[in-house]
Amino acid sequence: MGSSVSRASLGIDYKLLRRIPYLILLVKYGINDKDYATINLTRLANDIGTTPQNVFKIINRLTEEGLIIKSTVNGQLTIKFTQRASEALQFVIDTIRHYLDERLVIRLVGSVVSGLGEGSFYMSLDGYVKQFVEKLGFKPYPGTLNIRLRPEYVKYRLYLDALPGIYIEGFSNGIRTYGSVKCFKATIQGLPGAVLLIERTHHGPDVIEVISPYKLRDKLSLRDGDDVEVLVTL
């Protein structure tokens, strides 16, 4: 995920750039391009400083412009980003990064928790391993480190849902299919690795799974409950 994305290649014009503040605000509310999320018009209106009616008009405008998809579930408005919206947000990040001449970092802090023991199986599958080596630049240790984020960091984890990241394609071995994975390069207590956002997961948004060339529990002498800092590079 480099800074090769250009405004021209995305068809981004100044009209679209004016929508970026709305998209950033929606990210704050957990909106992403993966799952529909309920939106509270009154709360959003208070944040913007307008009326729920005007917010509804903004939502309709963003829908018409191909930035969000909306639906209604049990009488409640739900929305999610389109790929175009995610790419526009990534363009803004790349532009700022280029201007500052440095990489942007999201800091996540949480404590180590035990998983279901499935990470070692999935991380040893050739269909994943080959892509990790090609796209992340390392062969991961066959296992993941699960980290339960402190509540104040969950919102930053949700930001990642709205960004394209590094895409690991799903595949089939002829017997079963395996879902896609979105990755972000990261360091874990200074060691290289990546945060995985897994398409099919038992975890909520407060738990992240991390991979590394190292067995992190041993390398960092970690036990359940120990605090860990993860720096995600955008």
Q: For the domain that residue 22 is a member of, what is the CATH number?
A: 1.10.10.10
Strand residues in 47-190 grouped as ranges (E): 68-73, 76-81, 105-113, 145-149, 166-168, 171-172, 177-178, 181-188
Residues of the chain with pLDDT under 70: 1-14, 100-103, 117, 119, 200
Q: Is residue 2 part of a domain?
A: no
Residues 221 and 116 in one domain: yes
- Number of domains within the chain: 2
Q: Is 211 helix (H, G, I), strand (E, B) or coil?
A: strand
Residue 111 tokens read as: 């404590």
Residues 96 and 114 in one domain: no
pLDDT for 7: 44
Residues 18 and 132 in one domain: no
Residues 116 and 87 in one domain: no
Which of 60, 80, 100 corresponds to the end of one domain?
Answer: 100
Residues 85 and 109 in one domain: no
Q: Is residue 110 part of a domain?
A: yes
Predicted TM-score of the model (pTM): 0.64
Which of 100, 125, 151 corresponds to the end of one domain?
Answer: 100
pLDDT for 25: 86
Domain housing 51: 7-100
Percent helix / strand / coil, the chain, rounded to 5: 35, 25, 35
Task: Identify the burial level of 45 via C-beta atoms within 10 angstroms of its C-beta, where 0-12 means exposed, 13-18 middle and 19 or more buried.
Answer: middle
Which of 73, 100, 127 corresponds to the end of one domain?
Answer: 100
Residues 148 and 74 in one domain: no
Residues 72 and 128 in one domain: no
Residues 112 and 83 in one domain: no
DSSP secondary structure letter of residue 71:
E
Residues 91 and 109 in one domain: no
Residues 110 and 91 in one domain: no
Return the closest-CA partner of residue 203 out of 148, 160, 152, 151: 148
pLDDT for 149: 96
Judge whether 105 and 233 are in contact, CB under 8 Å: yes
Per residue in 20-78, pLDDT (tens digit) is 889 988 988 888 888 898 988 998 888 888 899 999 999 999 999 999 999 988 888 99
Residues 125 and 219 in one domain: yes
Question: Could you identify the residue written with the tokens 């992403």?
Answer: 32
